[in-house]
Amino acid sequence: MPVQCAACGKKAILKRPKTADAMCRECFYWAFEEEIHKTIIDAKLFTPGDKVAIGASGGKDSTVLAYVMKALNDRYNYRLDLYLLSVDEGITGYRDDSLETVKRNRDQYCLPLKIVSYEDLYGWTMDAIVKEIGLKNNCTFCGVFRRQALDRGAMLTECNKIVTGHNADDIAETVIMNILRGDIARLRRCTAITTGQEGSLPRCKPFKYTYEKEIVMYAYFKKLDYFSTECIYSPNAYRGYARAFIKDVEKVRPSAIIDIIHSGESLSIKKDVKMPVQGTCTRCGYVSSQDVCKACLLLEGLNKGMPKLGIGKPHKVRKVRDIHGYV
Ligand SMILES: Nc1ncnc2c1ncn2[C@@H]1O[C@H](COP(=O)(O)OP(=O)(O)OP(=O)(O)O)[C@@H](O)[C@H]1O
């Protein structure tokens, strides 16, 4: 006797990783999309007329995000103006290929695409940065620059919100990483479904409760066109440990991912813990808790031939800059 779909009783062809329910393909699509719709509605992520930039890397998460955002926008008449926004970090043999995927997605989903590059914004490609700094700290440059690049690209297209494909697994990993680092400020922020302070655009994560395994399953069954190669410069060992830990725990407790997110959401910070105060960078005007933002510091280091200048904790960076007399 074939296994029956838990929703409609027809023949099941898959087991949902999140609930362990046996399902047919159509009921899985419906359940997956409806959970994302519920997340969007419960968190009031959008208002009609919003111009929303979808951070599109060509990878599985953002490709599924673009597809589902468009489908839900049509189905529920959110009345959103959707754009694809890609950041070209200048990584030969990786981003150039994935951008080709995003260009195909632009045509497949009939969504306008804007591409901004590190080279235009900062005068440096990641290829050139890696030549200077090597593989060890290059993810710091890439992450800090991408954050601003997405904001700047969204502002260029007059978008008022950004959505990214960060999923439940990503968020659970970030909670664990911030606990291990004792980074209280980030720990408080990292489970928020919308982030972004004054001076930067609101950034939302509609996949906050969506399991990575289900995103892969959805992309596979829908035959979506996405790029699946890992970044050639990304050893990212620390996140790798958090990921491996969560995967291990998940084997004995399948709800571990959601449980970690809920734990992160419920944490409260003691009143006497000092938190960074947000201001603006005195050089570029971008939001920053220091007088000069991290992107400007990293750029200063690169341009002065001291690429390690902006790496590390703010007080150590300040000390090095004082010694060298940088303003
Ligand atoms: N180059 C980029 N241009 C635009 N958006 C990006 C880019 N890189 C990352 N993002 C956004 O940030 C999210 C998380 O990025 P991350 O690097 O963690 O990749 P990921 O989890 O592999 O996601 P994806 O499968 O979409 O590449 C992506 O889903 C996407 O929305």
Delineate the domains of the chain, giving CATH numbers in brackets: 36-272 (3.40.50.620), 276-327 (no CATH)
165 is in an annotated binding site: yes
Q: Along the chain (327 residues), what's the average pLDDT of each consecutive run of 10 residues?
A: 93 93 97 98 98 98 98 98 98 95 98 98 96 89 94 96 97 96 89 84 97 97 94 81 94 92 91 84 89 93 87 61 51
- How much is the pLDDT for 327? 43
Query: Which DSSP state fits 112?
Result: -
Rounded to the nearest angstrom, the distance between the alpha carbon of 274 and the centre of ligand 1 is 31
Handedness of CA 15, 16, 19, 22 (dihedral sign): negative
Enter the ipTM: 0.97
What is the pLDDT at residue 67?
A: 98
Query: Is residue 74 part of an annotated ligand binding site?
Result: no
pLDDT for position 162: 98
Cβ of 127 below 6 Å from ligand 1 = no
Measured CA to CA in angstroms, residue 317 lies from 233, 274, 312 at distances of 24, 19, 6
User: What pLDDT does 278 receive?
Assistant: 83
264 in contact with ligand 1, CB cutoff 6 A: no
Query: To test ligand 1's pocket by mutation, which of 103, 125, 164, 234 has the most ligand atoms within 8 angstroms of CB?
Result: 164
Bridge pairing between strands 22-23 and 14-15: antiparallel
Is the model's pTM score more than 0.90?
yes
Provide the pLDDT for residue 274: 82
Residues 6+ apart with CB under 8 A from 162: 52, 53, 54, 55, 85, 150, 151, 154, 196, 201, 202, 203, 204
Between the CA of 58 and the centroid of ligand 1 the distance, in Å, is: 8
Q: Is 152 in the pocket of ligand 1 (CB under 6 A)?
A: no
Residues paired with residue 288 on neighbouring β-strands, in sequence order: 279
31 is in an annotated binding site: no
Q: Which helix (H) or strand (E) covers residue 289, if one does?
A: none
